[in-house]
């Protein structure tokens, strides 16, 4: 749909939500919006082409809030809804009064259950056009979703990093998520079995010694049967199982990125330099897996206590230890969003925020960092929160 007025845009979204509902509870929906978008009074709005904004009050009447769109899709109860907003590339109100209280771009917002919201840029920031017909953000997103085996959050984390680098830090996308399962645009490729890894390396080189290893280690595998046929046909040269074979199997392990793939290198070539590298790589992968899946879960005042502890560690506030999620804590957490590429809500305590801050080194703490492009105060739960 192109150049929609408010009524048309609202109807388009209603129709889209209805179509999603028709696909049942397992449906995955993706809504992409490119155009004008603003934040006003901490609410994010999509601005239709029909809007004639002359004062701040016009925004709510003539714009469509992102939250309302998210909640409309969430009502379907389907598996996942993804909303991507690429806005705003220029001033949507060039003729309006300079007193209109808006920020270009959108600000991180509260999560809506079952919805993943992604914005091309933060509040007060411009979203840059690309060299072709697509913006920098859209171009990087199109590239990132083509990678197999990347979780939804990791796809957008990659987009954020690339856009930030492309724009010298002037544009930093963000995401808000309340999904409870992993989603892949392209599912992970099946991990090759050890026999398949070895067979691939043996066949590529014609290395007889690798065929022998395959037959001896995995005699009942289909790959071993194929290896016997190749060996009998004379297609396999009689090479010594030297470091060249180890390097080939190691290279496949690097591509597979699994501990088991590296284990195969150490089993087949135990006294080679490649085996030592493989042992270290397998150990790191297992350690990372444990760290990602472990760690205590906190909630309530206990979670707030640990969040404040991290904020003090990173010099984001001189607050005293405590378990009150007050305005001082919110301001400090808002500052801390600049310290990491991991996205989290700053106006409420979450485990995502705690895990993100735990990974930040003290040397990369708040110190004298300022909130860029964010001079306005926001009102949260009755408190005026200023940088």
Does one domain contain both 198 and 173? no
Domain assignment of residue 322, given as a range: 300-385
Does one domain contain both 140 and 237? no
**CA 343, CA 210: separation in Å to the nearest integer?**
47
**84 lies in some domain:** yes
Residue 349 main-chain phi, psi, to 5 deg: -75, 130
Look at residue 358 in the predicted model and tell me its pLDDT.
85
SS (H, E, C) 240-271: CCCHHHHHHHHHHHHHHCCHHHHHHHHHHCCC
Last residue in a domain, options 284, 318, 351: 284
CB atoms within 10 A of CB 168: 7
Spans of the chain below 50 pLDDT: 89-91, 238-242, 369-376, 380-381, 387
Last residue in a domain, options 144, 177, 210: 177
Indicate the SS3 state at residue 373.
coil
Does one domain contain both 10 and 53? yes
**CA 189, CA 242: separation in Å to the nearest integer?**
29
**322 lies in some domain:** yes
Which residues are registered as beta bridge partners of 133?
none
Q: Are residues 54 and 47 in contact, defined by beta-carbon separation less than 8 angstroms?
A: no
Last residue in a domain, options 150, 177, 204: 177
The model's pTM: 0.56
Does one domain contain both 173 and 264? no
Token code pair at residue 332? 């400090």
**CA 222, CA 170: separation in Å to the nearest integer?**
54
**187 lies in some domain:** no
Look at residue 205 in the predicted model and tell me its pLDDT.
66
Does one domain contain both 252 and 212? yes
Does one domain contain both 118 and 19? yes
Does one domain contain both 266 and 336? no
Alpha helices (H) in 167-207, listed in sequence order: 194-205
* Count of the separate structural domains present in the chain: 3
Which residues are registered as beta bridge partners of 82?
30, 116
**293 lies in some domain:** no
**290 lies in some domain:** no
Does one domain contain both 159 and 52? yes
Does one domain contain both 265 and 173? no
Token code pair at residue 1? 């749909």
**295 lies in some domain:** no
**294 lies in some domain:** no
CB atoms within 10 A of CB 349: 26
Does one domain contain both 101 and 25? yes
**CA 25, CA 109: separation in Å to the nearest integer?**
25
Token code pair at residue 168? 């010298």
Look at residue 299 in the predicted model and tell me its pLDDT.
85
352 Cβ contact list (under 8 Å, min separation 6): 342, 343, 344, 345
376 Cβ contact list (under 8 Å, min separation 6): 101, 103
Does one domain contain both 155 and 40? yes
**1 lies in some domain:** no
Domain CATH code at residue 28: 3.40.50.1460
Output DSSP code: residue 135: B
Does one domain contain both 52 and 143? yes
Look at residue 201 in the predicted model and tell me its pLDDT.
75
């Amino acid at each position: 749909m192109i150049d929609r007025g408010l009524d048309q845009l609202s109807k388009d979204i209603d129709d889209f939500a209805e179509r999603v509902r028709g696909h049942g509870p397992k449906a995955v929906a993706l809504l992409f919006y490119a155009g004008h978008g603003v934040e006003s009074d901490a609410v994010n709005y999509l601005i239709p082409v029909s809007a004639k904004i002359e004062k701040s009050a016009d925004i709510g009447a003539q714009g469509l809030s992102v939250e309302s769109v998210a909640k409309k899709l969430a009502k379907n109860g389907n598996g996942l809804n993804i909303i991507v907003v690429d806005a705003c590339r220029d001033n949507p109100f060039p003729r309006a009064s300079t007193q209109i209280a808006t920020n270009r771009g959108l600000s991180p917002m509260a999560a809506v259950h079952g919805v993943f919201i992604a914005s091309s840029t933060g509040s007060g920031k411009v979203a840059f056009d690309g060299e072709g017909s697509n913006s920098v953000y859209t171009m990087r997103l199109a590239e990132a979703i083509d990678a197999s085996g990347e979780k939804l959050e990791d796809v957008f984390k990659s987009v954020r990093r690339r856009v930030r680098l492309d724009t010298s830090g002037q544009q930093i996308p963000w995401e808000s998520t309340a999904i409870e399962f992993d989603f892949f645009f392209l599912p992970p490729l099946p991990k090759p079995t050890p026999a398949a890894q070895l067979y691939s390396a043996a066949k590529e080189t014609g290395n007889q010694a690798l065929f022998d290893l395959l037959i001896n280690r995995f005699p009942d595998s289909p790959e071993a049967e194929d290896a016997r046929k190749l060996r009998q046909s004379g297609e396999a040269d009689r090479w010594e199982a030297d470091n060249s074979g180890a390097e080939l199997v190691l290279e496949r392990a690097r591509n597979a990125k699994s501990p088991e793939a590296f284990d195969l290198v150490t089993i087949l070539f135990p006294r080679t330099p490649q085996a030592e590298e493989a042992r270290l790589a397998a150990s790191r992968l297992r350690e990372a897996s444990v760290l990602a899946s472990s760690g205590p879960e906190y909630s309530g005042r206990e979670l707030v206590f640990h969040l404040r502890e991290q904020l003090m560690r990173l010099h984001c506030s001189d607050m005293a230890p405590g378990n009150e999620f007050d305005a001082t804590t919110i301001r400090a957490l808002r500052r801390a969003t600049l310290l990491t590429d991991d996205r989290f809500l700053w106006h409420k305590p979450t485990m995502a925020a705690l895990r993100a801050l735990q990974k930040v080194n003290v040397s990369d703490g708040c110190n004298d960092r300022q909130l860029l492009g964010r001079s306005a105060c926001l009102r949260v739960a009755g408190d005026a929160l200023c940088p």
